[in-house]
A = this chain, B = another copy of it.
Amino acid sequence: MTKYKLEDVAKLAEVSKTTVSRVINKRGYLSNKTVEKVYKAMADLNYQPNAAAQQLQRQHTKIIGLIFPTASNPFFGELIEHLETILYQKGYKVILGNSMQNPEKEEDYLSQLLSHQVDGLIIGTHNFNISTYKKYSGLPIVSIERTLTDEIPTISVNNYKGGVLATEFLINQGYRHILHIVGDISESMPSSYRHQGYLDAMANHGLKPLQWQISFEKTFDEKRSSIKKMLSKNSQIEAVFAGNDTDAAQLMATLNSEQTDNIAVIGFDGTRLMRAILPGMASIVQPIEQMASMAVQVLETRIKGEKTEPIYMLDVSLYKGNRQV
Which chain A residues have a beta carbon within 8 Å of chain B's beta carbons? 1, 3, 46, 48-53, 55-56, 61, 63, 66, 70-74, 77-78, 80-81, 84-85, 88, 93-98, 105, 111-117, 135-136, 138-139, 220, 223-224, 246, 249-250, 252-254, 256-258, 271-273, 275-280, 322-325
Contacts and interface: CB of A to CB of B under 8 A. Distances in A.
B280 A257 contact: yes
A96 B96 contact: yes
A71 B61 contact: no
Contact of A71 (B77, B111, B322, B325): B77
A84 B98 contact: yes
A203 B272 CA distance: 38
Contacts of A111: 48
A142 B93 CA distance: 20
Contacts of A66: 96
B74 A256 contact: no
Nearest to A3: B116
A275 B77 CA distance: 17
A220 B77 contact: no
A256 B261 CA distance: 14
A284 to B, nearest CB: 17
Given A71-B77, A71-B84, A74-B273, 15 more contacts: A1-B135, A1-B139, A48-B111, A49-B115, A51-B117, A53-B56, A71-B80, A77-B77, A84-B96, A93-B113, A223-B276, A246-B273, A253-B277, A253-B278, A277-B278
B48 A115 contact: yes
Contact of A249 (B271, B272, B277): B277
Contact of A55 (B52, B135, B220): B52
A52 B54 CA distance: 8
Given A1-B138, A220-B272, A323 B48 contact: no
A25 to B, nearest CB: 15
Contact of A80 (B1, B48, B96, B224): B96
Q: Closest 7 interchain pairs by CB? A: A48-B115, A220-B276, A249-B277, A52-B55, A257-B325, A51-B117, A52-B56
A276 B253 contact: yes
Given A93-B95, A95-B94, A224 B325 contact: yes
A246 B56 contact: no
Contacts of A256: 280, 323
Contact of A78 (B1, B72, B112, B271): B72
A255 B271 CA distance: 21
Contact of A63 (B73, B95, B223): B95
Contacts of A323: 256-257
B246 A277 contact: yes
8 contacts: A48-B114, A51-B55, A71-B77, A71-B78, A71-B81, A72-B80, A84-B98, A256-B323
